Every structure is written in C-alpha cells, then in structure tokens.
Amino acid sequence: MTMHNPPHPGEFIRVVYLEPFNISARVVAKNLDVSASTFNRVISGKSGISPEMALRLSKALGRSPESWLTMQDHYNLWQAKQNTNLDNVHHMEFVST
C-alpha cells in the first residue's frame, strides 16, 4: 500500500513522542546514547533512520526496528517519485530461448 506524502520518521517521532509528552530531544538523545546533534538531525528531517538508529529507537521508544526502517523507506521512495524523471528510462523485455 502506497502512502501519499508519508512523514519523515523524525516528524513522526516529534509528533507522537516528543510533543505530546513534552520530552526534549536532548533527553531522548541521551536515552538513545547518541549526541543531541545526531538526534536533532533525525527529528528535523536532515538525516534518515539508519539500521543502527532503528535498533536504538526500537529499544528506547518501541516499535520494531523493521517498522522504523520501513517508515524511512516509504518516505525516501515517495520523495524519489516526486523528483526523479523517468522519461528516458525504457522497459526491457527478457525472452528466454
């Protein structure tokens, strides 16, 4: 199922975890055992969720590591669909003989 303009995982973290519970990014970064600047890049959408970060988020916030990576993949694919010109890409037929 394709989402329409899925949020960046950092936006999801901000909206679901930080804002409702009034938790600072610095506190979450400490619990993730990453620098505040690293976590701020994620929640600002400047960095994506790596497999390592997915493991950290899973342990600290919940959800499976796979769900964090899937959220990042959906965001990345949607962005690519908006910005990639495929006009000069052609379908190839593979016929076995």
> If you ran DSSP here, which 8-state letter would residue 3 be given?
-
User: Which of the four pLDDT bands, split at 50, 70 and 90, describes residue 12?
Assistant: very high
The better pLDDT of the pair 96, 78 is held by: 78
Give the Cα separation of 25 and 72 in Å (integer): 19
Q: Once rounded to an integer, what is the mean pLDDT over residues 44-69?
A: 97
pLDDT band with cut points at 50, 70 and 90 for residue 2: low
Q: What are 78's two structure tokens?
A: 């949607």
Question: What residue has token string 């690293």?
Answer: 38
Q: What is the pLDDT of residue 85?
A: 95
Model confidence at 25, pLDDT cuts 50, 70, 90, reads very high
Binned at pLDDT 50, 70 and 90, residue 79 comes out as very high
pLDDT of residue 60: 97
Type of residue numbered 75: Y
Residue range 9-80, CATH number: 1.10.260.40
What are the domain boundaries of the chain? Answer: 9-80
